[in-house]
Structure 1
């Protein structure tokens, strides 16, 4: 690791980057340059920065620079926000000196900033013509929400700006640390950009106080910021996924949609070539733009193979039933777990959309199993039996659709039915 010397001169507001520092460094203009900028209350030695640096260097030869501004990223938060402008100006000065000293190509420079670090990247980019890319990892909301583009990261700050939102809820001191509105060329909202799987985010001050007394400060802090910090883990995971030679490696494939609810209903599956981007390091490989959604898991690596399923209840099914539906997809490589897909009224003609998330690649779907657990009211006099017409399975990982049906698709309480031999749409099935 090499430290580049930067000097701030308060008298005339000049910032000097010592050219000799860059000349003595291992900087190679033929390689891409990745610059990592940490956020509030963090340091350049945070584990995600160490791990991300190692993952980038393992991926391919490149220059990796870490901007360690921990002395300016401390309380009070308002001062840290003010400091981002100075750090952004220092980073811009460093980039300018890299051009002067080593003829660095700014189009090959990529700044990766988390929280306040994302806005530092924005300030630097706004002062650096031709900067290639900025990745904003849950850019900070407090002090920036609904502010002018001039004082926060926006898509004009680099040739390509991608943003991952993981804590995009209204700020309330114990949550909502990430900016809500889309601000990049492409904005990813994993799990709606809100509560992330596996995070025990506290929602009340009482819960925070109980955590402090019960589990200590470090545990409480990790719970408060878990969703906010998840953006760094997702980006790191994307680098590791992209470096794998495994043909069945999972990728953070995302879908453009008007809302997360529409996405979860499977209404936005127009994944034409190059239009469903991969969140993270590979985002520029797609020509997609705008807001994109995806689901992730709580397991290390966080990636899941996403399958949208639609169950079509027969028009001739009994007029009323109420219950819980579960589904399993079996492929030629593996199977998903039993997944809850619906709880509520099961009425004739119902179209029931849901998502099944698998941690492993199941391959080509060859069988679907469906079972029902009926819930009877106090005055229920009949035994529920729901009949299905068809089950449709869409995979956004492989961009294909499979249809399953057979005669007598009656769901008896607690028993599953097996549907094999995927069919083309309409083949011996009723699809209304």
Structure 2
């Protein structure tokens, strides 16, 4: 649901009697706020009914029109303030502050701004630090069939970067004040968004990202000043290193408490990330090769904390760690 918003720009148009201007302004709309409910311990299964209902719209996905941006801060931790590119008055009336760092959060396939991923990660970020958190809702494109959904994700990323570039131009914030976090296909988008922002963002975190050689675009280590992945369901998502630092948690699959359940293993990436923000822990040991990262046969002297909000600039390599079956997952 959206409702049409007429800003002061319209008044200017009326005074100038510019019909074309009026038409353009009347087309600008603001999404309804998103309300984050408390996340359950186990993610909800994908709704096949919702998939079929949204399939037709997804085939007509236009990220310029359909991408939505929702701001959460400690002043509004559960009810979003929608932001719209091209409406600086709306931004100025929101809780967005240039005194805070900003985190861009991007959901994956079948997701939305109020899904389990967002309901876990956004409260964890706000608990860890006082930041602007903007979640990107591209649910219409995220419901497309394969392989179109991948192309729509890549296409959408350009418009997300355009929104961030506009945000910087209006607020005076620079790229160094931004972190981009994405899950699954949203993890792939996180790299592409960070890459297209004017200037280099400080941190890109991809949570079990889609990363395969057959894709039209992929994450690169230089997408941000520091890039990191947390891999928990290698296989169809891809298994090759993608960032400055790649954590293969429990070898990248068969996480304790999940077994061979793909959805369970996949969701562990953002559950581990959220816990790294609120509890810390998760110390990985560096591995000499990818095969060692899979098996856990890693005895190099270097260790590194996984996750967190602050970039570990200068760190490099593959790391392995093990977790508990249930929360708290960290073993220290």
TM-score calculated relative to the size of structure 2? 0.70
| 1:231 counterpart residue number | 269
Is 1:155 equivalent to 2:221 in the alignment? yes
CA RMSD of aligned residues (A): 2.8
The higher relative CO (CA closer than 8 Å, separation ≥ 6) is in 2
Question: Would you say the 8 A contact 2:233–2:262 is kept in 1?
Answer: no
Is 1:123 equivalent to 2:192 in the alignment? yes
CA distance in 2, matches of 1:161, 1:295: 21
The equivalent position to 1:132 in structure 2, one of 182, 190, 202, is 202
- For the residue of structure 2 that corresponds to 1:268, the secondary structure is coil
Long gaps (5+) in structure 1 = 172-177, 202-222, 243-250, 306-432
Larger gyration radius, structure 1 or structure 2: 1
Is 1:37 equivalent to 2:140 in the alignment? no
Structure 1 residues 161 and 4: alpha-carbon distance in aligned structure 2, compared to 1, 3 A threshold: farther
| 1:8 counterpart residue number | 64
| 1:55 counterpart residue number | 124
User: Whose helix fraction is larger, Structure 1's or Structure 2's?
Assistant: 2
- For the residue of structure 2 that corresponds to 1:281, the secondary structure is coil
Question: Would you say the 8 A contact 1:51–1:236 is kept in 2?
Answer: yes
Structure 1 residues 268 and 80: alpha-carbon distance in aligned structure 2, compared to 1, 3 A threshold: same
Q: Give 4+ residue runs of structure 1 displaced > 4 Å after superposition.
A: 2-7, 259-267
| 1:70 counterpart residue number | 139
| 1:184 counterpart residue number | 243
Structure 1 residues 7 and 193: alpha-carbon distance in aligned structure 2, compared to 1, 3 A threshold: closer
| 2:282 counterpart residue number | 252
Is 1:198 equivalent to 2:229 in the alignment? no
Structure 1 residues 4 and 290: alpha-carbon distance in aligned structure 2, compared to 1, 3 A threshold: farther
Structure 1 residues 302 and 260: alpha-carbon distance in aligned structure 2, compared to 1, 3 A threshold: farther
- For the residue of structure 1 that corresponds to 2:103, the secondary structure is strand
Offset at residue 19 of structure 1 (A):
3.0
The equivalent position to 2:231 in structure 1, one of 121, 142, 165, is 165
TM-score calculated relative to the size of structure 1? 0.54
| 1:374 counterpart residue number | none
User: Whose strand fraction is larger, Structure 1's or Structure 2's?
Assistant: 1
Structure 1 residues 133 and 122: alpha-carbon distance in aligned structure 2, compared to 1, 3 A threshold: same
Is 1:91 equivalent to 2:137 in the alignment? no
CA distance in 2, matches of 1:94, 1:239: 26
CA distance in 1, matches of 2:290, 2:331: 17
Is 1:146 equivalent to 2:201 in the alignment? no
Offset at residue 240 of structure 1 (A):
1.2
CA deviations over 1:141-172 (Å, ceiling 9, x no partner): 4xxx1147x71111121111101111112x3x
CA deviations over 1:305-336 (Å, ceiling 9, x no partner): 4xxxxxxxxxxxxxxxxxxxxxxxxxxxxxxx
Is 1:268 equivalent to 2:299 in the alignment? yes
Offset at residue 293 of structure 1 (A):
0.8
Question: Would you say the 8 A contact 1:165–1:179 is kept in 2?
Answer: no
Long gaps (5+) in structure 2 = 1-29, 34-61, 67-83
